[in-house]
Structure 1
Amino acid sequence: MNIDKYKNLRYRLMETEDWPLEYMFKFIAPNHEGNVDRIKAFLPRDGKITFKHTPNLKHVSVTCIALMDSADEIVEITEKVDEIEGVIVL
């Protein structure tokens, strides 16, 4: 894993003084091999999760809006999901 990959995200989030804050995670995943379930496992349990499939059902957009306590918490979730093969982090 590239430790500096989300350095800019963490920096921008740390500039925010309003914690906790509502954050929107957004990922696109191939619609196979349990990818959606794997993503859901990393997302906050109390988050509002929505799904949107591409017309050919090959990919799924996963959006989660959740109240987050820190920049580190957001980056940690994003890094874990990014390790799932084929997932695009938006």
Structure 2
Amino acid sequence: MSKKTVVEEVVVEEQTAASIPSITKESVKERLELIQKIVEDEHPVIAMVKAHTEQDLLLLDVLTGIVNGAEDPKDLASAALEVFKLEFTRSYS
């Protein structure tokens, strides 16, 4: 049995830009709060994996939203970059 990477596990369906929910500063804030909750509530080893995965998905969603014409792209990107102020161990292979 081979292990899959996070990217391989994410199934991306083709969607039109109109069907993709737009990301907002408020939804970014909620995702940051979720990541912080993971860091606070989970065992450090589990938190490292979950929080880092959520960070990557957040940044992917923000970039996708900007490409698809999200409102206030600079503010959206700035809000997403706040994820790097959260303190948790990030693992890079």
TM-score (norm 1): 0.29
Which of the two has higher C-alpha Rg? 2
